[in-house]
Structure 1
Amino acid sequence: MPSSSTDQTLAVQVVDSMERMSGKHPGYRRSSARGACFRATFTPSGAAAVLTTAAHLQARTVAATVRFSNSEGNPHTPDTAPVTRGMATRFHLHDGSDTDLVALTVPRFVASTPGEFLLLTEALRPDPVTHQPDLARVHAFVGAHPHLAEAVAQQPPIPVSYASAAFWAIHAFIWVDVAGVRRPVRYRWEPEAGRTELTAAEAATRTAHYLTDELHQRLEHAPVAFKLRIQLAEPDDATHDPSTVWPDHRKEITAGRLEITAPADDQDPWNTQAFNPTRVTSGIQLSDDPVLAFRAHAYAESHLRRSRNQ
């Protein structure tokens, strides 16, 4: 396992590289720079209670805060861009603690290790003339890492609405039950409205902030809901590689229902927060996924820079 100091050094290098991709935007996140937060409640179904002791997956409804965003480090990237979207959920537990679930509109990550991710961000650095990535560098990266070809080539959907997109947490986590039995799982938010996407031509007719604006308008009429779907691993399913997915026929359960009701009262405090996929609670543990563990270091480095308005 890499040492903490090694991870911290690599985190600095990764965040530096992300800044070279998106440019420096002081005070903003290095990824998912522009987003909006919403109030929500999460009601567990009870189906997960026998598999984990996690408090928010038992019986009581808990309050939650949800941040929708696009993945770009440039806060001026329009909603019409064909980029990954994010859904970060913070569950506010009854004991006063919090736990986070961070999900994306793609089912797999673009790298198996933090080192691979650093190399990919360098390959994606825009050309200073064209302001686009050099495809020769990208192809060279995939040629050197053929196991990532499918992950790098995946095309994120352009959703009609944040309310009509599915969001995957991409990493495996370990659920622990009351007897100490450990089970690997993966999470997915499934929209109750169903999945709907825009074509590139349709997206070109939308405004730069259409996703946020549409969600505000939708919430004026009714709440927006997602089901928390849990995929249960079989013994041969890898837990260490977020660039792979488990077979679709793996058993799934619905762990609960998230109901988004209104915009957060004050966006400014939430803009200073850092949602963190490693912020788990009792009954949930991190898997052996090195990218998952590394994200805590990268998020901390990004948060430090924006807290200093860098």
Structure 2
Amino acid sequence: MKFERSRGLPPRSQRFDLGLRWVVVLAIPATIAALFVWCAGWFSPRPSAPRIVDAFEATTTPHPGFRRNHAKGICVTGHFESNGNGELVSRASVFAPGRYPLVGRLSIPGGDPGQDDGAGAVRSFALRTVLPHGEDWRIAMNSVPIFAVRTPQALFEQLNADARDPQTGRPDPEKMQAFLDSHPEVRAFDRYLDQHLPSSRYDNATYYGISAFRMTDAHGVHRFVRWEVVPDLPYRPVDARKRRDPDFLSYDLMRQLATGPLRWHLVLNVAMPGDSIDDSTRQWANSPSRPRIDAGTFVIERAQTQIDGPCRDIVFDPTILPAGIAPSSDPLLAARSSTYHVSLERRTWEEAAALANGH
């Protein structure tokens, strides 16, 4: 003790307290930094949004400036005619009777904007409905009512299995088979495709929101729903003649719109006991006792090319919702939101770089 005091040091107990305080002070920012990198997925085996987008890119050749999935599509504009029935389950402004403008996009899955339409087994429909008081509602739907996989990790594994082999330029069938063997939930998706041929046109397909969403009505009552949009036109399967035209989907859409608007009814399917709320690989039973609410009509009036059309820079993030609608705990919703935004950042940067280089 005399030695410590002779050198101007505080007693050992005080130095211990001082050291402990410094440990706490330094540990707080270190913990925050660690949480940040963990959430970003930099040092975690779980897939971050950039890693998932990287995996999408590995399934095709580079196509700068285009979406990493659903690269081929067409913009549409129109409005939503709400009939007020949706207020039975939600206080969202979109369900108040009225007419609300929208911008949308019809597309097929895949990262190649030049692929033939006949290669697409699924049709996709995305919408942004502009609402009062600065709100909007964004929907991303497919013509299949379920997803192939349940989690972002499974999606990441699926994309890796579908990645192009550098030697052959094609996916490795052994990797895909290993993925399918380890993910039996994919069988339900494959069975649906086997039993439901893709539609002959964009405008005669039913589109499904797939994930569940939580609705809150004016009394604060919560209900979960899955929505679908059902066309006025009858479904017809695609045939061999159609498949010979590489762009038959957009061509037929433009031709049909020249004769008048196209309409889909928004149907809200209310969850029943036993329905899965957080697993989008499981289809809800088609029960006659299930409440189904026709909440209004999506009306498409015009179509424009995606290169310079109004949908070009829209992120159809399914978690952008008006008050009265909220995401469920389905893990794919957050993953879709983050990957869509990473895709936008990359294609925006690529367009800027091309302009800077005079291309």
Taking structure 2 as the reference length, what is the TM-score of the superposition? 0.80
Structure 1 CA distance for aligned equivalents of residues 84 and 37 of structure 2: 41
> Shift in Å at residue 235 of structure 1?
2.5
The whole-number CA distance in structure 2 between the counterparts of 1:252 and 1:157 is: 25
Equivalent residue letter for 1:274: V
Q: Indicate conservation of the 8 Å contact 1:85/1:104, yes or no.
A: yes
Counterpart in the other structure of 1:15: 53
Cα RMSD over matched residues? 2.0
Residue of structure 2 equivalent to 1:185: 225
Offset of 1:151 from its aligned partner? 2.2
Query: For the Cα contact (< 8 Å) 2:162–2:172, is it kept in 1?
Result: yes
Q: Hey, what's the Cα distance between the residues in 1 that align with 2:247 and 2:192? A: 24
Matched residue SS, 1:37: strand
Shift, 1:183, TM fit: 0.5
The worse-fitting range, judged by mean Cα deviation, of 297-306 and 250-259 is 250-259
Residue 239 of structure 1 is matched in structure 2 by: 277
User: For residue 77 of structure 1, what is the amino acid of its counterpart?
Assistant: Q
* Shift in Å, 1:83: 3.1
Moved more, 186-195 or 266-275: 266-275
Deviation at 1:269, TM superposition (A): 4.5
- Indicate whether 1:33 and 2:71 are aligned: yes
- Amino acid aligned to 2:332: V
| Structure 2 letter corresponding to 1:245 | Q
- Partner of 2:135 in structure 1? 97
Q: Deviations over 1:171-226 (max 9, x none)?
A: 11010111111111001111110211113x23333x21111111111111111110
The secondary structure found in structure 1 opposite 2:254 is helix
Task: Choose which of 200, 203, 207 in structure 1 pairs with 2:242.
Answer: 203
Identity across aligned pairs (percent)? Answer: 28
Residue number among 117, 140, 159 corresponding to 2:155 in the alignment: 117
Distance 1:248 1:5 in 2: 44
Determine the C-alpha separation between the residues in 1 that align with 2:200 and 2:190.
23
For the pair 1:168 / 2:208, whether they are aligned, the reply is yes
Question: Structure 1 regions of 5+ residues with no counterpart?
Answer: none
Structure-1-length-normalised TM-score = 0.92
Deviates most, 79-88 or 120-129: 120-129
Partner of 1:291: 332
Q: Is the deviation greater in 179-188 or in 41-50?
A: 41-50
Of 254, 257, 279, the residue aligned with 2:297 is 257
Name the SS for the 2:180 alignment partner.
helix
Does residue 83 (structure 1) correspond to residue 124 (structure 2)? The answer is no
Distance 1:4 1:259, change over 3 A: farther
- Structure ID, larger Rg: 2
The alpha-carbon distance between structure 1 residues 149 and 38, as it changes in their structure 2 partners (threshold 3 A), is same
Query: Equivalents in 1 of 2:298, 2:350: separation in Å?
Result: 33
- Asked if residue 59 in structure 1 is aligned to residue 97 in structure 2, the reply is yes
Pick 1 or 2: higher relative contact order, CA cutoff 8 A, min separation 6: 1
Q: Decide whether the 8 Å contact of 2:102 with 2:128 is kept in 1.
A: yes
Report the CA distance shift for 1:23/1:30 in structure 2 as closer, same or farther (over 3 A). Answer: same
Amino acid at match of 2:100: V
Q: Deviations over 1:207-250 (max 9, x none)?
A: 21111111111111111110111111013211111111110113
Answer yes or no: is 1:273 the counterpart of 2:273: no
Write the deviation string for residues 99-135 of structure 1: whole angstroms up to 9, x where unpaired.
Answer: 1011011111111110010001111123446544333
Count of residue pairs brought into register by the alignment? 306
Cα deviation for residue 168 of structure 1 reads 0.8
Gap change, CA 1:152 and 1:46, over 3 Å in 2: same
Aligned counterparts of 2:268 and 2:116: Cα–Cα separation in 1: 31
* Equivalent residue number for residue 143 of structure 1: 181
Which residue pairs with 1:46 in the alignment? Answer: 84
Runs of 5+ unmatched residues, structure 2: 1-34, 42-47, 352-359
**CA contact 2:92–2:325 (8 Å) conserved in 1:** yes
The secondary structure found in structure 2 opposite 1:146 is: coil
* C-alpha distance in structure 2 between counterparts of 1:177 and 1:160, whole Å: 38
Q: Is the 8 A contact 2:124 2:143 kept in 1?
A: yes
Q: Higher helix share goes to which structure?
A: 2
